[in-house]
Chains A and B, each alone.
Chain A
Amino acid sequence: MTAPEPTRPGQVHSPATDIFETDEAITVLADMPGVRADALQIDLRDNVLTLTGRVLRQEGNYEAELLCEFQPSTFYRQFTLSERIDQSKIDAKLTAGVLRLELPKIERAKPRQIQVRTG
């Protein structure tokens, strides 16, 4: 793993991710169960997209543990984007633990037909 080690203890998981691309945008969908919007960081710089989501420990009364198959952990993943992204139009939505990130591409100059006039 090339990523720097986190200072906070706990497990770091790579979220399961779907990525698809259309002519207009790249869309990233990532499963991050337990992550709330205020604990999710999305960072895009130098064409590297970084997703970091922290699951906060469930507050509540003292409970005796009977079975533990998942723990409050951190979701972390980086992607390199080959397309130029319009930073001002990025849209991120977090619903039921799934992040949907729309990364619109910068509009290229549209091909234009040039009429040649005869004079």
Chain B
Amino acid sequence: MLVRRVWPGRPTFNASLSDFEQARQEMLRLFDSMANESPTSPSGVFPPLNVGQDEDNVFVRAEIPGINPEQLSISVLRNRVSIAGKREIQLEQGRAAYHRRERPEGSFSRTLTLPVEVDAERVDARYADGILTLTLPKAEAAKPRQIEVRT
């Protein structure tokens, strides 16, 4: 039988103790990472999304600051929405000395499954103030229908 050790064993007399210590450290590290994590993206995904709906539309909002809208690719198929793109930050040329570089850059991609099918032909996408807003009209078949009761 193959046994995979979670922590590397130590061939010393206090091996069990050091394993325990390592586990404790790992727990502390996990707690720390949870405490420091920004509440905006609870699972560390980018971009953070808000999704809402009213009777006719589903709204998807994404926080994507400082991006060229041409670098965004949005695709909709039935009840699946994909947002992908790339954020590029141009470094200052010349004799600029950086004190801080915290703004993230790179490629991102997220796919959402909506609770209803939407009309891909009439989806509207708007980008303003660093927020992407998608308005996705619900497909006719997905809209609630009034049923008349016959007497």
> Which chain A residues border B58 with CB–CB below 8 Å?
66
What number of residue pairs across chains A and B have CB atoms under 8 A from each other?
Answer: 110
Enumerate B44-95 residues with CB–CB distance to A below 8 Å.
48-54, 58-59, 61, 63-67, 89, 92, 94-95
Please, how many angstroms separate the alpha-carbon atoms of A19 and B99 in the complex?
A: 5
> Which one of B99, B103, B104 contacts A21 once the chains associate, using CB atoms below 8 Å?
B99
**Nearest A residue to B40 by beta-carbon distance?**
A70
Mask, B116-135, CB within 8 Å of A = 1, is: 00000000000111110000
B54, chain A: closest CB distance, angstroms: 5
> Which chain B residues border A41 with CB–CB below 8 Å?
none
- Of A1-9, A31-39, A43-51, A110-118, the one contacting chain B is A31-39
Enumerate B90-108 residues with CB–CB distance to A below 8 Å.
92, 94-104
Q: Which residues of A contact B (CB under 8 A)?
A: 11, 13, 16-23, 27, 29, 31-36, 58, 60-70, 73, 95-98
Q: Which residues of B contact A (CB under 8 A)?
A: 38-42, 48-54, 58-59, 61, 63-67, 89, 92, 94-104, 112, 115, 127-131
